[in-house]
Amino acid sequence: MRFYKYHGTGNDFVVLDGFSGTPSPTPEQVRAWCRRHTGIGADGVIYACPPAAGGDARMRIFNADGSEAEMCGNGIRCLAKFLYERVGLAKSEMIIETAAGFKVLRLSVVGGEVLEVEVDMGLPELASPDLPAPDHPSSPGVVSIDTRESGRVRAFCVSMGNPHCVIEVKNASAAPVATLGPEIEMHPLFPRRTNVEFMETRDGDEIAVRVWERGVGETQACGTGACAAAVAAVCIGKRGLPLRVALPGGALVVSADENGHLLMRGPAVEVFHGQLSSSSRMEE
């Protein structure tokens, strides 16, 4: 089975070509391939396949634990680069079908190479079945969460097609991502678990963010998480858009169009491609 390896600001993915007949992966295969020491190593697996509802292509995205996610902002940029350069979908604007709806992508292409991709991430939602109710109707998105790690934590919850819980911190580099992140991910307030962002507001139009990603753990970046943190920064009155979101793996820019849709822009990089060995045991 042929595979391709990509990353977007350090958030890395194995991409499978469903256009050529490669079957969709099983959860066991996803977990095996994503292991850093015995597999290919990745935060997730993207299955690129023909459209089902009128788009240019369809994306299925699997977390490293084998669970399927609704959407991935970094992953969809990598998918656009793969479709343009490897599948031959030579369009500077693409419509991609995801479990979170249609996404419009605009590609920055130089000399036949996709350097950056801007994704229309749609409207953020402060009320969703995947999110807890706010503490007060007058403060949408604001939730108090009782935790073992840090006591009562004030957070901002928003859906970008997938659930996010944003916690403001004074210093993102010192935030308890590895301990508080998994506790909040699995908190009973979130029926489908949640992604957790630790956000530090900085001088100028910049925020720093670290992400505990649902079903993966801490990642170098998260596109939907960057958007969620930007929404939180605006709603709590700390910043306006556009914002530069500094993540451990690089920076993304989040802005908004005239309809209030969030636009997320960042790079996509092909790292390598290869063939899975038939003699290697890549399944559990």
Q: How many domains does the chain have?
A: 2
Kindly state whether residues 79 and 46 are assigned to the same domain. Answer: yes
Kindly state whether residues 242 and 271 are assigned to the same domain. Answer: no
Kindly state whether residues 87 and 180 are assigned to the same domain. Answer: no
Cα 274 to Cα 4: distance, rounded to the nearest angstrom: 7
Q: What is the pLDDT along the chain (284 residues), one digit of tens a residue?
A: 999 999 999 999 999 999 999 999 999 999 999 999 999 999 999 999 999 999 999 999 999 999 999 999 999 999 999 999 999 999 999 999 999 999 999 999 999 999 999 999 999 999 999 999 999 999 999 999 999 999 999 999 999 999 999 999 999 999 999 999 999 999 999 999 999 999 999 988 999 999 999 999 999 999 999 999 999 999 998 889 999 999 999 999 999 999 999 999 999 999 999 998 765 555 55
Question: Which residues are CB-neighbours of 261 under 8 A, at least 6 positions away?
Answer: 120, 121, 122, 123
In a domain, 283, yes or no: no
Q: pTM for this one?
A: 0.95
Kindly state whether residues 31 and 63 are assigned to the same domain. Answer: yes
Query: What is the pLDDT at residue 282?
Result: 54
Kindly state whether residues 254 and 271 are assigned to the same domain. Answer: no
Query: What is the pLDDT at residue 239?
Result: 87
Q: Provide the residue count of the chain.
A: 284
Does residue 222 have an active-site annotation? yes
Per the CB < 8 A criterion, the answer to whether 231 and 200 are in contact is: no
Which member of 34, 222, 227, 235 is catalytic? 222
In a domain, 137, yes or no: no
Buried b (16+ CB within 10 A) or exposed e, 181-203: bbbbbebebbeebbbbbbbbbee
Kindly state whether residues 271 and 245 are assigned to the same domain. Answer: no
Cα 164 to Cα 69: distance, rounded to the nearest angstrom: 13
Query: What is the pLDDT at residue 52?
Result: 96
In a domain, 127, yes or no: no
Kindly state whether residues 100 and 186 are assigned to the same domain. Answer: no
In a domain, 41, yes or no: yes
In a domain, 133, yes or no: no
Kindly state whether residues 73 and 155 are assigned to the same domain. Answer: no
**Burial of residue 19, with CB atoms counted within 10 A of its CB: 0-12 exposed, 13-18 middle, 19 or more buried:** middle
Does residue 157 have an active-site annotation? no
Kindly state whether residues 19 and 100 are assigned to the same domain. Answer: yes
- CATH code of 172's domain: 3.10.310.10
Kindly state whether residues 148 and 44 are assigned to the same domain. Answer: no
In a domain, 68, yes or no: yes
Kindly state whether residues 102 and 147 are assigned to the same domain. Answer: no
Per-residue pLDDT of 133-177, as tens digits, reads 999 999 999 999 999 999 999 999 999 999 999 999 999 999 999
Query: What is the pLDDT at residue 115?
Result: 98
Which member of 34, 49, 72, 165 is catalytic? 72
Query: What is the pLDDT at residue 237?
Result: 87
The helix/strand/coil state of 61 is: strand
Range of the domain at 205: 142-258
What's the token pair of residue 52? 């089902």
Query: What is the pLDDT at residue 283?
Result: 52
In a domain, 56, yes or no: yes
Per the CB < 8 A criterion, the answer to whether 35 and 3 are in contact is: no
Kindly state whether residues 93 and 22 are assigned to the same domain. Answer: yes
Q: Is the dihedral angle over the CA atoms 281, 41, 159, 153 positive or is it negative?
A: positive
Question: Which residues are CB-neighbours of 185 under 8 A, at least 6 positions away?
Answer: 193, 194, 195, 196, 212, 214
Distances (CA, A) of 189 to 63, 163, 164, 196, 210: 21, 11, 12, 13, 21
Question: Which residues are CB-neighbours of 275 under 8 A, at least 6 positions away?
Answer: 1, 2, 3
